Chain A
Amino acid sequence: MVDEKDESLKARAAGRATEGAMDITHSDNANPKVKAPPAQDRWFDTQLSRMYADLASDPLPKDMLALIQQLKKPTS
């Protein structure tokens, strides 16, 4: 009788533990900002590279284009 009760308690506890683990996984997928540090670092690197690429690829202003054209001219 006691053993049966213990078994059912163990099963319930295990169930809760599994539910908890699944919740953590689900919330990790839903919100990248609460990822474990290594994954979050990778996420930072991706976002940083993307932002850097955006900044670097802005259309060139006229005066800078003129400077670049001068640099592109072949040396005599």
Chain B
Amino acid sequence: MSQPTFDEMSSEMRTALLEAVPHLRAFARSLTRNRDQADDLVNDTIVRAIAASNQFTPGTNFRAWVFTILRNLFYNQGRRGKSRFSSLDDLTVDEPSASATQEASLEFCDFRRAFWQLPDHHREALILVGASGLNYEDAARICGCQVGTMKSRVSRARTELRRVLDEDALSARRVEAKPITGQDPFEMIQAKVHARSK
């Protein structure tokens, strides 16, 4: 059986695939942690989805179907190992949108820093269920796990985020509490006593 081409794809499927592209890019980015690798992965996913379009079951979730293709490509092509050694710079230099207030931007930076520290499967669970709008059943199907496992991953991811953010806040408070003069605290007290005794 020959594989379908661009021209043989139904217009509904083309529209669905076009609508899925931004979601695929966000999901790919969360898996690869690298912009270029993510875009290569999305390109390959689009080509694969076109070739396999006759395997899609109408009435099922199209986005979940293309997400499954993308995830399988990622794990089967050894991109996972590659991404571990790749630069994460493009994730850390992204500027938050200019419309946000400065405090909100700082909060957002803290959140992103914490998010990228999560283990792969926790990050994936949050992106699928928390952000891309998929339900637990579809997310579990994409990741090839039980619905209960997906629920527990989401819950543990949130707990882990909370822990990382709390630690960040704690270390920030420690930095604030440090004497800005760089002087030894004992010397500072001695200097104050000396000044008062004059």
Contact = CB atoms under 8 A, between A and B. Distances in A.
Interface of A: 31-34, 40-41, 43-45, 47-52, 54-58, 61, 63-64, 67-68, 70-76
Interface string B111-133: 11001000000000011001110
B21 A68 contact: yes
A71 B23 contact: no
**Interface bin, chain B:** 35 or more
B43 A56 contact: no
Contacts of A50: 96-97, 108
List the 7 shortest-distance A-B pairs measured between CB atoms, nearest first: A56-B22, A52-B131, A47-B111, A55-B26, A56-B26, A33-B165, A55-B29
B50 to A, nearest CB: 8
Contacts, number: 88
Given A55-B25, A56-B23, A58-B25, A48 B130 contact: yes
With most chain A CB atoms within 10 A of its CB, the pick from B10, B126, B165, B168 is B165
A44 B85 CA distance: 28
Contacts of B153: none
Given A47-B107, A48-B126, A51-B112, A71 B169 contact: no
A71 B14 contact: yes
